[in-house]
Amino acid sequence: MRALKRYDRRGFTLVELMIVVAIIGVLAALAIFGVRRYLASAKTSEAKNSVGAITRGAAAAFERETAASEILTGGNSSGAASHSLCGSANPVPNGGPPLGVKYQPNTAEGSDFEQGTSTAGWKCLRFSMTQPIYYQYQYLQGARIGTTTAPDPGPTGFEAGAVGNLDADAVPSYFIRGGTVDVATGQLAVATQIHIENEYE
């Protein structure tokens, strides 16, 4: 009777335990990879949303009619209102993209996103960020942002972009969206998608 009870209380073999540990190890590795990818995606969504907002600001600024201030004498007419892109803005932060850390924009007048005029810079775009950022943001009118594989908007266009370096290595990531003014029609055409290079770098 005692021998039978001993066999009823049989435990796991070493092979069974090793299989369970191996399965747990594989699941843990997959979970770590998934969490890292999720965190990186959360960071890149900042760049995508901000580049979209800068592009919308550039399009809205182009749609606004601007007219020079004039003093008219009797019998004269004012000059016609025109549409124009905002002039280039200083990159924020100015020293390059943060290397795997966040940068807190300075909200003092004349600093970071608080620079520009009604016709140029961040004030013209009506774009500002007050929360810490992972990327360097740029807006250039008639010029390119550091990459040659994005469609070239030409001298009558603009590029809005975010440059990042989340893993602090020598390879930056780019999120760029551009637009160009058709000289013949005077209409602004904006890229349909954000051009992305090295998304998780």
Instruction: Tell me: pLDDT of 12 over 90.
Output: no
- How does residue 66 score in pLDDT terms, banded at 50, 70 and 90? low
Give the ranges where the chain is alpha helix by DSSP (H). 2-8, 14-63, 121-125
Average confidence score pLDDT of the chain:
88
Instruction: Tell me: pLDDT of 7 over 90.
Output: no
CA distance 156 to 180: 6
**Tens digit of each residue's pLDDT (9 = 90 or more) over 83-142:** 889 999 999 999 899 998 999 999 999 999 999 998 999 999 999 999 999 999 999 999
Give domain limits for the chain: 36-65+82-197
Structure-token pair, residue 120: 């140029």
Nearest partner of 177 among 191, 162, 187, 197, judged by Cα = 191
Instruction: Tell me: pLDDT of 6 over 60.
Output: no
What pTM was estimated for this model as a whole? 0.79
Instruction: Tell me: pLDDT of 149 over 90.
Output: no
